[in-house]
Amino acid sequence: MTDKISGLKEKLKANPSQIFHRYSLAQAYMDNEDLSSACEEFEKCLLVKPDWMMAALSLGKAYLDDGQKNRASEKLELALKLAREQNHDDPAAEATELLKECSFSE
| 83 pLDDT higher than 90 | yes
pLDDT confidence of residue 2? 85
Superfamily of domain 3-104 in the CATH hierarchy: Tetratricopeptide repeat domain (1.25.40.10)
Check pLDDT > 60 for residue 80: yes
Return mean pLDDT, the chain.
Answer: 95
pLDDT digits (tens, 9 = 90+) for 7-56: 999 999 999 999 999 999 999 999 999 999 999 999 999 999 999 999 99
Q: Looking at residue 1, what is its pLDDT?
A: 72
**pLDDT at residue 106 greater than cutoff 90:** no
Residue 104, pLDDT above cutoff 70: no
3-state helix/strand/coil string of the chain = CCHHHHHHHHHHHHCCCCHHHHHHHHHHHHHCCCHHHHHHHHHHHHHHCCCCHHHHHHHHHHHHHCCCHHHHHHHHHHHHHHHHHCCCHHHHHHHHHHHHHHHHCC
Domain chopping of the chain, boundaries = 3-104
